[in-house]
Structure 1
């Protein structure tokens, strides 16, 4: 192995496809590169989070090794998240390492956008393909109240602008819709999609909040979101990509820009889920709605071979939870699972 740890980490290996007991095959990897975040969104972060010690965080070489092994098992898309991924220094180095994996076709990132303007060009040169910016209000004061930090709205929107200028494709906006908080801005976000040729994705509020505020009456369903938009702008559904978290719509009048709706709670898409997650501290998480997680870091740091790691991951993924539907059938609702910042989107 070279000093930077990027050789002999699985490129030469091909493994059996990664499949769970329900026949679902993993094609997408979501990597939380850090649990740290500079915002305190109440639907994600505790007021006083306890950060992981740096020694527990996977190195870029360790992340790249897992990614190469998973690529040998059929994974072709990688999304970087956090916490806030741009809190991790020199993230473009990791992007470049992942870009060297031949089987990986796309690398994307979900970010709060605070550091995006200053990092966008470096990330694009390193090979990052697309970026999604979390933007939960278009009203500056409300936005800053939601994220728990003053004076950041213009910086985030500037990051979104620069992301488009440097050529990221796609550029998306994520908005978590919460009743009594920002549900009066649904049409404003639809108009943002139309004016800016962006994909705006509305996400149902899920029980991953850092302060355990979640309760069913705060959830605004995807159906309700669509009704609000279509009262002004009729929509046409596009074919849903296999394994996609979102149903995407175009505007019937032909104006560019798309609307996506992620109905994790009211109409889950678990039956063809093709995602596997890796936490910042090296846990394999087959399903975000399950508390099951499997420590692959201990194997990485104890000299395990690629074959041993692949076997461990295969066994963990095979046990993947059936999905949200089974929880709803059994309990009618879902309790708090974990704070989102510990897992990534």
Structure 2
């Protein structure tokens, strides 16, 4: 990114999350509770979704503004047809150094190899428990956690890097912290614990269900002492550690108890083309309308820069239990992680 672009942006823009599907094959308690997203829930029609060509065109302008990392999310992104074609297209964009995908891993046994061959570098797998009953309570489905574990194995075999994300909810799956940490340590996988956040309006969040980074760190240290690692880049949201008796890393994402709004470099693009400058946004700006109204690449570039340059997001720093209840926030299933 050139110096003049740095000067024109309120904070560096380095990381783009693109939701390519608004639905999932799970309806988890965290982002798609089954009492809200039942079998009769109406999802977006296909024509409302950004096409792969539109996603690539938008990503080119984000890259011109400094984005180096792209992560494809959902919903469940692998429910979208021909995802390897999109990855291959994004791989050609100058300036993009890292492409990853967040998934529940169930479809990876069939898709891991073509994803890797298309240029995908790693997957971030959502796995909140190893015990079947707890896993099913968190996922909202009768699927076995073994389906996710098979997907992890398939990703490793295909050559993909794997990170595991675990949302910890007190009284629901917090007893799974140690089993999950042991599993990932034995497999040599980075595990990132995520504090239960008040994303959206439907996940029933309150602060009493949050297991703090401090408590998680204390629990994981029972396996082996941890030592802190330096951040890999400005804006990295996970506090990184490694076990002293190995090179395996563990991370903690503490949006509730230790906020990081001031260093946020991440934009989010929904499946239907809304640009969000914060995970906790109330509304997004309609990039799809700009593109479909015939904007040139230069106009798209300037529009993105203007939206990002006006951002004043500090929700995590200002959060109270009252604001968490009363503020209308976009659902995680719509905006992605």
Whether TM-score is above 0.5 comes out as: yes
Q: 1:332 to 1:232 in 2, by over 3 A?
A: farther
Q: So what's the TM-score if we normalise by structure 2?
A: 0.92
Q: 1:79 to 1:256 in 2, by over 3 A?
A: same
Q: What is aligned with 1:244?
A: 236
TM-aligned CA deviation for residue 326 of structure 1:
3.9
Q: What is aligned with 1:144?
A: 136
TM-aligned CA deviation for residue 42 of structure 1:
1.4
Q: 2:278 aligns with which of 278, 287, 297?
A: 287
- Please say if residues 15 and 73 of structure 1, whose CA atoms lie closer than 8 Å, have aligned partners that are also in contact: no
Q: 1:155 aligns with which of 144, 147, 153?
A: 147
1:47 and 2:37 matched: yes
Q: What is aligned with 1:8?
A: none
CA distance in 2, matches of 1:280, 1:68: 17
TM-aligned CA deviation for residue 321 of structure 1:
2.9
CA distance in 1, matches of 2:323, 2:253: 17
CA distance in 2, matches of 1:257, 1:143: 24
- Please say if residues 21 and 77 of structure 2, whose CA atoms lie closer than 8 Å, have aligned partners that are also in contact: yes
TM-aligned CA deviation for residue 245 of structure 1:
1.2
> Secondary structure of 1:17's partner?
helix
Q: What is aligned with 1:99?
A: 91
CA distance in 1, matches of 2:203, 2:113: 37
TM-aligned CA deviation for residue 73 of structure 1:
1.2
Q: What is aligned with 1:29?
A: 16
1:185 and 2:173 matched: no
Q: What number of residue pairs does the alignment pair up?
A: 329
CA deviations over 1:70-101 (Å, ceiling 9, x no partner): 11111111000000000101100000000011
Q: What is aligned with 1:73?
A: 65
Q: 2:188 aligns with which of 190, 197, 212?
A: 197
Q: What is aligned with 1:4?
A: none
- Please say if residues 240 and 247 of structure 1, whose CA atoms lie closer than 8 Å, have aligned partners that are also in contact: yes
TM-aligned CA deviation for residue 126 of structure 1:
0.2
Where does 1:118-129 land on structure 2 (aligned, <5 Å)? 118-129=110-121
Q: What is aligned with 2:108?
A: 116
Q: 1:18 to 1:134 in 2, by over 3 A?
A: farther
CA distance in 1, matches of 2:203, 2:186: 36
Q: 1:64 aligns with which of 56, 73, 95?
A: 56
Note the aligned Cα RMSD (angstroms). Answer: 2.0
1:268 and 2:259 matched: yes
Q: What is aligned with 1:10?
A: none
TM-aligned CA deviation for residue 295 of structure 1:
0.2
TM-aligned CA deviation for residue 60 of structure 1:
0.3
CA distance in 2, matches of 1:125, 1:110: 17
CA deviations over 1:188-244 (Å, ceiling 9, x no partner): 122122201000000000112563411110011111100111234210010013111
Q: So what's the TM-score if we normalise by structure 1?
A: 0.90
> Secondary structure of 2:324's partner?
coil
Which runs of 5 or more residues in structure 2 are unaligned?
Answer: none
